[in-house]
């Protein structure tokens, strides 16, 4: 076997294994570049041309392919909501008055809440409307 063939196979295999381990789709482009270098080698080109082929094909595929793959994965993977986001739309009964800001307990956790509606009295039901920083925005249910 030719030494340059072994080199390109090793580079391609290492890049592919690194991509399989990390799952970032960043190293697979070097595998494609090594395949292009193997094709250049089989056509009889020098090692310089093989290296230029490897670098250029890897760079082009990385510049074009990586953003496309990343965007595709982002669209297909369902985003897991945070605990705070799961509270939006939930109705709770407050155990103290809330004029502007207060701290209330929801599921055993104390949260800072900000009232965005009319004043809330102890025992009133409120709906969690949104999140602002680390505060839950609440509104009195009529």
**Can you give the pLDDT at residue 28?**
93
- Asked: is 83-140 a CATH 2.60.40.420 domain? The reply is no
Residue 4 pLDDT > 70 = yes
Residue 1 pLDDT > 70 = no
The pLDDT tens digits for 85-121 are 888 899 988 888 888 888 888 888 888 999 998 888 8
**Cα(61)–Cα(50) distance, rounded to whole angstroms?**
16
Between the CA of residue 78 and those of 21, 69, 72, 97, what are the distances in Å?
A: 22, 16, 12, 38
Domain borders along the chain are: 3-76, 83-140
């Amino acid at each position: 076997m030719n030494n340059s063939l072994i080199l390109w196979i090793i580079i391609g295999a290492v890049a592919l294994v690194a991509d399989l381990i990390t799952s970032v789709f960043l190293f697979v482009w070097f595998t494609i570049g090594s395949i292009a270098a193997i094709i250049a080698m089989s056509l009889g080109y020098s090692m310089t041309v093989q290296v230029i082929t490897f670098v250029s094909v890897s760079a082009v595929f990385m510049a074009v392919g990586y953003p496309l793959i990343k965007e595709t994965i982002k669209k297909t993977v369902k985003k897991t909501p945070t605990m705070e986001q799961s509270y939006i739309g939930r109705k709770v009964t407050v155990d103290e008055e809330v004029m502007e800001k207060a701290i209330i307990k929801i599921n055993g956790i104390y949260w800072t809440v900000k009232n965005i509606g009319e004043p809330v009295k102890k025992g009133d039901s409120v709906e969690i409307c949104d999140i602002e920083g680390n505060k839950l925005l609440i509104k009195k249910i009529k």
